[in-house]
Amino acid sequence: MSVAEVFSAHSHIYATAENERFYTRIAAALAEKVSPRLDPGKILEVGAGTGAATIILKRYFPKAEILATDPSAEMLAHNRRKKLAHVRYACLRAEEAACLEDKFDLVFGNICYHWFEKGTAKGLAGLLTPSGVLAFSTPTSGQEKGDGNLILFRICRELGVKGRHGRHLSSLSRLRKEFAHLRNVATETMTLRETCPPALLGTLLRARGSWTFVFGPEADAAENLWRKYTTGRPLTTLSWHITLVVAG
């Protein structure tokens, strides 16, 4: 299954309020970092998905024209249903978006950079107007761990995936290297705690592509182990470390 197929298959779960709330919060933190620096007229959103962050872009930059892109047509269909004014759509991977002929004041991606091929920031930077900026939020590794994180580590050990699908352990220094060619790179890491019934969290992680991202072909096996190890727990907590990068 391609990444787009993984997201398409579960887009109806991704588009639920309890899932989108999590992404909206992060997108708002990122937009908050951009807004003092820039009042963009044209925005390219990459990995726009079902529109949790597109809504935030509209709120912070109401006059901007937005081109919202994502490789999953089904994710974008949910985004379209939000009927946001001055938003156009294109089914594209971020790596392909780098070939667009337009220029943008802001290229924005909420919790999607970790899916892109290495070096994508360089291609996207070529789309910026002279005062334009790139803004991304992406998960990085961090110290704080909830009981859910410990269960995930146990599953990694049991399936022996560390190293094979270890991209999720992306460090801040590795992320900074991606943007090193740009002047003015600001990063900030925020920690979010997500506490909910483990069955719901397991389903949300499926819709977010997390099982696939971390465990690759062992995604289903990992989700089954999650069910096994969380049986009887009313609630589970995951600690997320999200790095915001604004560069340009």
Ligand X SMILES: C[S@@+](CC[C@H](N)C(=O)[O-])C[C@H]1O[C@@H](n2cnc3c(N)ncnc32)[C@H](O)[C@@H]1O
Other beta carbons within 10 Å of 183:
6
Q: How far apart are CB 172 and ligand X at their closest, in Å?
A: 19
DSSP secondary structure letters along 148-165: HHHHHHHHHHHHT-TTTS
The SS3 assignment for 141 reads: coil
Per-residue x/- mask for ligand X, residues 145 to 184, rule CB under 6 A? ----------------------------------------
Q: How far apart are CB 18 and ligand X at their closest, in Å?
A: 13
Per-residue x/- mask for ligand X, residues 206 to 245, rule CB under 6 A? --x-------------------------------------
Q: Helix 219-230 to helix 198-207 angle, to the nearest 10 degrees? A: 170
Instruction: Tell me: does residue 115 bind ligand X (CB under 6 A).
Output: yes
Of residues 122 and 158, the one with the C-beta less far from ligand X: 122
Are 131 and 38 spatial neighbours (Cβ–Cβ below 8 Å)? Answer: yes
Instruction: Tell me: does residue 198 bind ligand X (CB under 6 A).
Output: no
| Angle, vertex CA 164, rays to CA 123 and CA 145, nearest 5 | 90
Q: Which residues contact 71 (CB under 8 A, 6 or more apart)?
A: 2, 3, 4, 7, 91, 92, 93
Q: How far apart are CB 117 and ligand X at their closest, in Å?
A: 7
Q: Name the residue with the smallest CB distance to ligand X.
A: 49
Interface pick for ligand X out of 15, 23, 229, 244 (rule CB under 6 A):
23
Other beta carbons within 10 Å of 169:
14
Instruction: Tell me: does residue 93 bind ligand X (CB under 6 A).
Output: yes
Q: How far apart are CB 231 and ligand X at their closest, in Å?
A: 27
Per-residue x/- mask for ligand X, residues 57 to 86, rule CB under 6 A? -------------xxx--x-----------
**Residue 126 CB burial class (10 angstroms; 0-12, 13-18, ≥19):** exposed
Of residues 207 and 229, the one with the C-beta less far from ligand X: 207
Q: What is the distance in angstroms between the CA of the first residue and the CA of the last residue of the chain?
A: 35
Instruction: Tell me: does residue 111 bind ligand X (CB under 6 A).
Output: yes
Per-residue x/- mask for ligand X, residues 34 to 53, rule CB under 6 A? ------------xxxxx-xx
Euclidean distance between CA atoms 25 and 61, whole angstroms: 16
Residues in touch with ligand X (CB under 6 A): 3-4, 7, 23, 27, 46-50, 52-53, 70-72, 75, 93-95, 110-112, 115-116, 208
